[in-house]
Chain A
Amino acid sequence: MKKKIAAMILSTAMTASLLAGCGGNDAGSTQESDSAATEAASQTEVEPEAEETDDTAQEEAGEEPAAPAETRTIKILSMWPEDDAESTANGSIIMAMLQQYQAEENPDFTWEYEYVDSDNLKTKVTTLAASDDLPDFFAYDAGTSLLELIEADLVLDVTQALTDLGVYDSLDEGAKTYLANLTGTDSIYDLPLGLNIEGFWYNKALFEQAGIDGAPATWKEMLEDCDKLLAAGIQPIATGAGDSWPATRLLHAYAIRLMGADCMEQAAAGTLAYDSEGFVQAAQMIQDMNTAGYFGVGATTVDQNTAADMVMNGEAAMLYNGSWYTSSLNADTNPAGEDGIGFFSVPAVEGGKGTVTEYPMNCGTILCLSKASYDDSVAGFLKYFVTHVGDYSMNEFGALKGYAVNEYPEDVGGYTKMVADEMNKVTGTGNWFEALMTSELSTVVQENVQSLMNGDMSAEEYCEQMKDTYELTKPN
């Protein structure tokens, strides 16, 4: 009997210690991983009334929220580090907006800023959406990916919310139309964090060194320039094909000049086959350019940041990139100086439908708001954000982010001015290659592009796989 009792006591103690161990670990990990979360939790405990009010406000989402009287901790899930002034600067801009809002309008305002790298962003958001725990603001991919969240009624109708707040005009008209077109909806469900055109950037000194005077007007001229650069011992083009997307952008650049700026819309709608002659020619062009050595050796292992640095450092002459590149170019650390890098639109392809004034365009990775957690606290910051971010990003970083800019600084950076001048030439826009593709198709085109460049896969095979995946995964 005594042994039985001893056994019972021992096993009880064992169970208790196991459970205590689990509990202890949980608490420890929470504290370690995110001390701000603990802070937030404690704040919720102390202020149950505030939470109740939030819930009520949440039910009334869509109606005009009052002034930011109620405050809770706002959660922001970002794919930009808090201090990224030398890349897109989006993290720095969001942080500045948070701090300014706290200092100028709402001293009780608190936030949690969580950084997740771009590779894991979609995973994180999908998981949070599945557990009904989307953060108040979160970075996400525009286009098809966002459409899934819209259809599941998880993201806030930004048009409605900003109209209710009376600040819808603070968004750039072009950005509004662009974002609505991307999702094919009447309203927009996301905030832009960029208004970028894409094209080729070139190192003027290297062009001069190779005896090239000025930017090429046609694709053929660009290839001839590549030969001249090679002859001068200069790598003609740096491409961050290690990240895959810069390579598909190049393919896209040729495709839109050959088939017109709306070729991707046609392909997504099923009126232009992904294995049509135009796409095969574009794929073949990228492969041929790599075979000719224009992208340097091992182009498929270089990431886009390295490629961008190579052009500034004078290690390569050209780069295909978006106008977000100006943040790096305007920085004091740019070895090419204030006027060392030039820009030219994707050159025309002989016999092609596209014109050089049609630019591939994008609004960067966008910022969405959770519909379920939208309340006065979020509305207060949202209003401040859209009315101030345009001026702030222009003044501090010389960057257009898709918001109205009331005051342009006098000493706007040379590169920013160059992009603004290019934007004035725009007569038509196209998306980026994967904008209207399903996740599956987007993955396939990016996974295969390195093999296409290396010659492990023919242009026909590449396009055939695009077509097959499109057929398998196209929305009904």
Chain B
Amino acid sequence: MIREFGLIDVMYLIAAARWTLALTATAFVGASLIGIVIAIARILPFAPLRWLAAAYIHIVQGTPLLVWLFVIFFGLPLAGISVNPWIAAATAFSVYGSAFLGEIWRGALVSIAKTQWEAGASLGLSLGEQLRYVIVPQSIRVAIPPTVGFLVQLIKNTSLAAVIGFVELTREGQLTAAGTYKPFAVYITVAAIYFAMCFPLSQWSRSIERKLDVAR
């Protein structure tokens, strides 16, 4: 039975966008936790740790996210570990995001002059204290704009989770399009909702960038 694409469908789409945001938020938290470890591992003077972190980044960035979604969602059950789409998506996006955030934050950390580390060390601060009190606070200013930029990418990329049946905005769009035979109207609406989520973030990122420029 074909139904009309009406206001109620738009409401359903907006409701599904909550899951897009939930997945983005979860993945961002997961990616941040792993990413900060990766970023710091890559700048510390312990070679094995650096190599391990670099290998992790190369592997994750050198493979498609979609494949990871498939590996986790279809592969793990074969190994006897059953995962629901939510867990699979949250895991895959956290891993994917951690490699990118790890690189962004590493860049922010190394952008702080070596003399700042030296000044801290000369005052008797330990390596951890140099990071905590001197390097990280300064690099946050550098890191915020690209981090927000990545967040926008993450929101859009969560649409990939639709392929493993996780019902977020894109998957809801597919279902609505199938039920109404109005793919154009439906997907334009979907696009508009994505835009409504991403645009304010990009603007915010830009305004932060401007503020930091002025502060310099």
Q: Do A and B actually bind?
A: no
> Which residues of A does B touch, CB under 8 Å?
none
B: which residues have CB within 8 A of A?
A: none
